[in-house]
Amino acid sequence: MVVFGAWQAQLKRNLRWLRQPRGLFLLALVVISAIAFTGCNPSQFITAEATTSRIVFSSLGDPKTFNPALNQEFPNVFLYTFEGMVTRDGETGEIVPQMAESWEMSEDGLTYIFTLREGLKWSDGEPLTTDDVMFTYNEVIFNEAIPTSTRDVMRIGQEGRLPEIEKIDDRRFKFTLPEPFAPFLETTGAGVLPAHVLQESVHTLDEAGDPKFLSMWTTGTPPAEIISNGPYRLSQYLPSQRVIFEKNPYYWQQDAQGNQQPYVEELVWQVIESSDNQLLQFRSGGLDVIGVGPDEFALMKQEEERGNFTIHEGGPALSTTFIAFNLNKGSRDGQPLVDPIKSKWFNSLAFRQAVSYAIDRPTMINNIYQGLGAPQTSPLPVQSPFYASPEDGMPTYGYEPDKARELLTTNGFQYSPTGTLLDAEGNRVRFTLLTNSGNKIREALGAQIKQDLGKIGIQVDFQPISFNALVTKLGDSLDWEAHIIGFTAGLEPNGGSTIWRLDGTLHAFNQQALAGQAPLEGWEAADWEKAIANIYIQAAQEVDPEKRKALYFESQRLTQEYLPLIYLVNPFNLGAVRNTIENVNYSGIVRPYSLWNVQELKVTP
């Protein structure tokens, strides 16, 4: 057996690679879908002792679930309440132990033996053992009846086989892989679940024949019933107002002097459905942490000293922002998910490319992002050693409305005498564009896209809706035409397999029915779509970093050529944190950027 040192050394080399001069990206934009923020001033609701230490941050919307296996959103409560075997260090980018005390890997890379830390406990005081790990993987993550995105990133090879896991003793267990799988270690960061609370629900079916687990730990569940293993546990949830976390008295981590961590007793996640109101709350002292939007940067920079906060720079944003069309040709109960007339437009490569050429990204950067951004040309963040830039030959789309019109007219579209775009059958080209309300950056992007596409004769009906309503449309009902949203990226591209694999639970631009949903008829995938999915499978099997890079370069080329997601702007990542919070080590590679090391943070008066 060999220890994981070689993998860590490779990560260090990759990190040095990405730290080479990239002057363009010295600053960093608020990851638009990232640290969200909230509404009421804490002085209006906090009744605990004045000596209680707390950090108050916010989100644009309520959590959608308290079940980590079913989560598909960011931010989420699980960042503070659940842990897995490993995590990524927000400063170095290395994969480091979390619940695992150590691990060993066989020479052929097919066997991993983990040893849990001694004396681990759940937040209710019950022991956390290998039995919980066995339950989490064998009965939840590897259970095809449970729609969890974690399973997507653990599938290996063309057949999508999963690792096998077996118990050695109460602290040790072994994973056996069917073939080499380069990103495997990082996948073991999935949160472990308590068997003593959830196991029965997995094996009990509801009236529809689905595991009752699917309805366990909803946001209607009393917080005291949510048993966790992270530094915090849920204490209170008031819909549309706040989530309160309290320090987990059974958390394992201690400092060098033997003091239990975390130090901060309470976290308060305020729900504030407008980024403008979030800013007001921060400026008035109601929030301790906030992302700084590009249009807010100049004002906030002037207020640093008076407001007793510091603006931290984390490099280019890790998230992506894009417009996507619903390419799904399937039907449900005989009804097409997308109007067949519009589906024909959306599935036209010329149409998607024309839309990309018609979007004025330079104006977006200047007006919406105040110059704090660059055109986004890849699903991977620039920090990743697998990122392919335009200089590497990736297709790009400048602002060329005349080229957009030419693409359309040479591919069957036509213009009316008044300049309205029609298809070959004379149908007016018009669609509804959704985004999540309250996110003023996305709302501004939608308003500009509506204006830009109007210039080439396309009518866009722009409609911001609540974030949870948008997530439901994208993942459940599938009844949408186009949307603006973003995904969280990471240094390891395989995390995106849940987006790019054909059966991925976030394959939103052409989503298949997930477990527990009514089946689709007539679903199909395009050749380029299959090619991207196959590349993600091959790249995960490849252990040579240079060969993996070549594969991911090809996947990025295909995404830019065929545009299932039309990327917009890569903003800079900026965050403001009160100076009363000690040990802040703002990260540009691990989210939540300000709170990734929440166990080590302290609050001073």
Residue 553 domain-assigned (yes or no): yes
Residue 291 has pLDDT above 70, yes or no: yes
Tokens 């091959």: give the residue. Answer: 538
Residue 7 domain-assigned (yes or no): no
pLDDT tens-digit readout, 56-75: 999 988 999 999 999 988 88
How many folded domains does the chain comprise? 1
User: By CB neighbour count within 10 A (0-12 exposed, 13-18 middle, 19+ buried), where does 524 fall?
Assistant: exposed
Confidence category of residue 489, pLDDT binned at 50, 70, 90? confident
For residue 516, the model assigns a pLDDT of 79
- 265 half-sphere exposure, CB direction, 13 A CA radius: 7
Sign of the Cα torsion 110, 116, 121, 126 reads positive
Which of 213-227, 328-342, 484-498 has the least mean pLDDT? Answer: 484-498
Residue 339 has pLDDT above 80, yes or no: yes
For residue 23, the model assigns a pLDDT of 37
Residue 503 domain-assigned (yes or no): yes
Mean pLDDT for the chain? 90
Contacts of 335 (CB under 8 A, 6+ apart): none
Confidence category of residue 50, pLDDT binned at 50, 70, 90? low
Residue in 178, 83, 78, 190 with CA at minimum distance from that of residue 137:
190
pLDDT tens-digit readout, 96-130: 999 999 999 999 999 999 999 999 999 999 999 99
Residue 95 has pLDDT above 70, yes or no: yes
| Three-state DSSP class for residue 528 | helix
Q: Which amino acid is at 116?
A: L
| DSSP state at residue 257 | T
Give phi and psi for 203, each to the nearest 5: -100, 0
Residue 18 has pLDDT above 70, yes or no: no
Domain with 341, as residue range(s), is 322-567
For residue 517, the model assigns a pLDDT of 86
Residue 536 domain-assigned (yes or no): yes
Residue in 246, 279, 274, 228 with CA at minimum distance from that of residue 46:
246
**C-alpha of 77 from chain center:** 13
Which of 39-43, 65-69, 580-584 has the least mean pLDDT? Answer: 39-43
Which of 11-20, 43-52, 83-92, 144-153 has the least mean pLDDT? Answer: 11-20
Residue 496 domain-assigned (yes or no): yes
Tokens 């068997």: give the residue. Answer: 195
CATH of the domain at 392: 3.10.105.10
For residue 7, the model assigns a pLDDT of 34
Q: What is the dihedral of CA 424, 429, 434, 439, to 10 degrees?
A: 130
Residue 9 has pLDDT above 80, yes or no: no
| Three-state DSSP class for residue 459 | strand
Residue 541 has pLDDT above 60, yes or no: yes
Residue 455 domain-assigned (yes or no): yes
**In this structure, what token pair is assigned to residue 388?**
């392919």
Per-residue pLDDT, averaged over 404-417, amounts to 98
pLDDT tens-digit readout, 550-569: 999 999 999 999 999 999 99
pLDDT tens-digit readout, 512-538: 998 778 899 999 999 999 999 999 999
Residue 147 domain-assigned (yes or no): no
More confident residue, 194 or 489: 194
| DSSP state at residue 474 | I
Residue 360 domain-assigned (yes or no): yes
**In this structure, what token pair is assigned to residue 28?**
């960093």
Residues β-bridged to residue 373: 571
pLDDT tens-digit readout, 122-151: 999 999 999 999 999 999 999 999 999 899
